Amino acid sequence: MGVLIKGGTIVTADRTWKADVLCADGIIKQIGENLEKPSGAEVIDAGGQYVMPGGIDPHTHMELPFMGTVASEDFFSGTTAGAAGGTTMIIDFVIPSPKTSLISAYHQWREWAQKAATDYSFHVAVTWWDESVRKDMGTLVEKHGVNSFKHFMAYKGAIMCDDEVLVNSFTRARELGAIATVHAENGELVAHLQNQIFAQGITGPEGHPLSRPPGVEGEAAERAIRIADVLNVPLYIVHNSAIQSLNAIARARADGQRVYGEVLAGHLLINDSVYRNPDFDFAAAHVMSPPFRDEEHQKALWKGLQCGTLQTTATDHCCFCAPQKAAGKDDFRKIPNGTGGIEDRMGVLWHHGVNSGKLTMNEFVAVTSANAAKIFNIYPQKGSISVGADADIVVWDPQKTRTISAKTHHQKVDFNIFEGMEVKGANTVTLSQGKIVYKDGEVRTVRGAGRYINRPPFAGYYDALKTKSAVEKPTAVKRGGKKAAA
């Protein structure tokens, strides 16, 4: 059995070369020229095509209970849509409500994710603090393969962390060898601006970006970076959309701090004019946080990705259909925040990144899979084409064109933020664990075939962090005895 991918050009984050790839038992068994077809193996003709690691989307929210509703995309439909577009792994978020146990929330999400068609893992959000949270973080790292903890600095009165929670949780993450991650928006400022703008009579979706200006994001990013620096913990900032947060990351990295930045395909390609569209359904369909920004920010984000200030691309895939968005018909503050994109991230990044010359093919692999695998400590099991790696692979035809549309996508949502966009370059085949899950327009995913992927803590990586004697080895000043002469 198995699958032999013949005649393609392998593209990884490091190199490009012509070779065949033999997949069996879920992994890559052999890479080489003119490999023999084992009996019973299926052959994929990859002539004229690229063979790359399947995409990893490190930021999704399948079937998330949020803002009084539940995201429409579930773990099966969402991972299937991902597979159709070349993404073979997601890292989703366990988000416990304040005062609920992290461990029970983790088990709840594991149960929901049983139906996933491709592999997945979980970041766990810390939304409150007490001794049980401290203990549960330890259990999650030591027993459940979690190495990243998320902190929402926005969503006041719901899941927002104040500085006390950030400090406690970052400190604990440091002890455990885990990485802290943040949604960087100052939730206090957002709440203040939302109320002010609403009181001024702006009730529609155009109020959404006005209540979340770039400075709100910059402040939170800067604060999270400073806290992480003092506590000496690595930090990953999700969905950077603004020059302010980008610059904060660039400064911290130039200063030697381990700070990583993610950008969403949507923030690179969609601008804030969508919120001023007179059609409520259209404008509301784009309500997500942080909001889409103007072109100046988009250009800076592309440059951030090109120069390495930002290392990963994601989607924040969190789908709500028009009837759900209508909850905020008369009040933009009540529109469920979230947009989709898992199916199209690879295609739009290839088209607007590689075809435009902004990214090399190897950089494309870095920002769509390899870097996420490295940052979240699952490389080279994921994000690589190497013997022994999981056989999560896309066969990519650089000549294939398609037009993105909600009418044809596999995502369980009635809107596509990239509607009408023509892209050149697409997967013809997707393999997950060595099995064909998508081929030439036909989806072959299997409900429940996805596995939970453990992510170990970062022991060696932490050893390399600079030590901060002021925090780690304080020395008391000796006093008493004879007074020194004045």
CA distance 175 to 138: 9
Name which of 123, 117, 170 is nearest 146 in CA terms.
Answer: 123
Q: Could you say whether residue 63 binds ligand DUC (CB under 6 A)?
A: no
Both tokens of 5, joined, read 């991918």
- For the bound state, the minimum distance from the C-beta of residue 243 to ligand DUC, rounded and expressed in Å, comes to 20
> Least Å distance between CB 389 and ligand DUC?
31
CA 126 – CA 129 distance, rounded (Å): 8
Give the CB-nearest residue to Zn ion.
183
Burial of residue 422, with CB atoms counted within 10 A of its CB: 0-12 exposed, 13-18 middle, 19 or more buried: exposed
5 interacts with, out of ligand DUC, Zn ion, none, CB within 5 to 8 A per kind: none
Instruction: Please select the residue that binds ligand DUC; options are 183, 212, 286, 409, rule is CB under 6 A.
Output: 183
Q: What are phi and psi of 75, to 5 degrees?
A: -65, -30
Half-sphere exposure for 200 (CA within 13 Å, toward CB) = 12
338 binds, among Zn ion, ligand DUC, none (CB under 5 to 8 A by kind): ligand DUC
Backbone phi, then psi, for 18, in 5-degree steps?
-90, 125
Binding to ligand DUC (CB under 6 A) within 335-354 occurs at 337-338
Collapsing DSSP states into helix, strand and coil, what is residue 26? coil
Using the minimum distance from each CB to ligand DUC, give the nearer residue, 51 or 90: 90
What's the closest the beta carbon of residue 61 comes to ligand DUC, in angstroms? 5
20 lies in the binding site for Zn ion (CB under 5 A): no
Binding-site size, ligand DUC (CB under 6 A) = 9
Tell me how far, at minimum, the Cβ of 332 lies from Zn ion, in Å: 17
Please report, to the nearest 10 degrees, the dihedral formed by the alpha carbons of residues 223, 211, 323, 341 taken in order.
-50
Q: Report, in Å, the least distance between residue 314 CB and ligand DUC.
A: 11
- Among positions 389-448, residues that touch ligand DUC (CB under 6 A) are none
Single out the residue of 182, 117, 104 nearest to residue 144, CA to CA: 104
Q: Closer to Zn ion by CB, 316 or 343: give it.
A: 316
Question: For residue 111, which of 127, 122, 98 has the smallest C-alpha distance?
Answer: 122
| Residue 183 makes contact with Zn ion by CB under 5 A | yes
Q: Judged by CB under 6 A, which of 288, 349, 404, 429 binds ligand DUC?
A: 288
Q: Cα(182)–Cα(125) distance, rounded to whole angstroms?
A: 9
Residue 151 touching Zn ion (CB under 5 A) = no
Within residues 282-341, the interface with Zn ion by CB under 5 A covers 316
If DSSP codes are grouped into helix, strand and coil, which group holds residue 389? coil
Tokens representing 419 are 């509607």
When the beta carbons of 224 and 389 are compared against ligand DUC, the nearer one is: 224
| The residue to which tokens 């594991």 are assigned | 110
243 belongs to the binding site for ligand DUC (CB under 6 A):
no
Least distance to ligand DUC from the beta carbon of 154, Å? 7
Written as one string, the DSSP assignment of 211-261 is TS-HHHHHHHHHHHHHHHHHHT--EEE----SHHHHHHHHHHHHTT--EEE
Judged by CB under 5 A, does residue 74 bind Zn ion? no
CB of 239 to Zn ion, least distance (A): 6
For residues 126 to 165, the per-residue mask of contacts with ligand DUC, x marking binding by CB under 6 A and - elsewhere, is ----------------------------------------
Does position 61 bind ligand DUC by CB under 6 A? yes
DSSP-H helix ranges across 75-213: 75-84, 102-112, 131-144, 163-176, 187-199, 207-210
Nearer residue to ligand DUC within complex by CB, 14 or 331? 331
User: Residue 337's binding partner, choosing from ligand DUC, Zn ion, none, with beta-carbon cut-off 5 to 8 A by kind?
Assistant: ligand DUC
CA–CA separation, 276 and 102 (whole Å): 39
Q: Which of 63, 316, 343, 392 binds ligand DUC (CB under 6 A)?
A: 316
Find the part of the chain contacting Zn ion (CB under 5 A) among 177-185, 271-279, 459-467, 474-482: 177-185
Q: What does the alpha-carbon distance between residue 293 and residue 299 come to, in Å, rounded to a whole number?
A: 10
Residue with the CB atom nearest ligand DUC in the bound state: 288
Tokens found for residue 485: 């002469």
Which of residues 337 and 427 has its CB atom nearest to ligand DUC in the complex? 337
289 binds ligand DUC (CB under 6 A): yes
119 versus 316: smaller Cβ distance to Zn ion: 316
For the bound state, the minimum distance from the C-beta of residue 336 to ligand DUC, rounded and expressed in Å, comes to: 8
Q: Does 318 bind ligand DUC (CB under 6 A)?
A: yes
- Three-state DSSP at 122 gives strand
**Assigned token pair, 260:** 């990583």
Q: Which of Zn ion, ligand DUC, none binds 288 (CB below 5-8 Å, type-dependent)?
A: ligand DUC
Query: Would you say 141 or 184 has its CB closer to ligand DUC?
Result: 184
Taking CA atoms, 474 is separated from 164, 174, 228, 442, 468, in Å, by 22, 17, 18, 62, 10
Residues at the contact surface with ligand DUC, assessed by CB under 6 A: 61, 66, 183, 288-289, 316, 318, 337-338
Residues at the contact surface with Zn ion, assessed by CB under 5 A: 183, 316
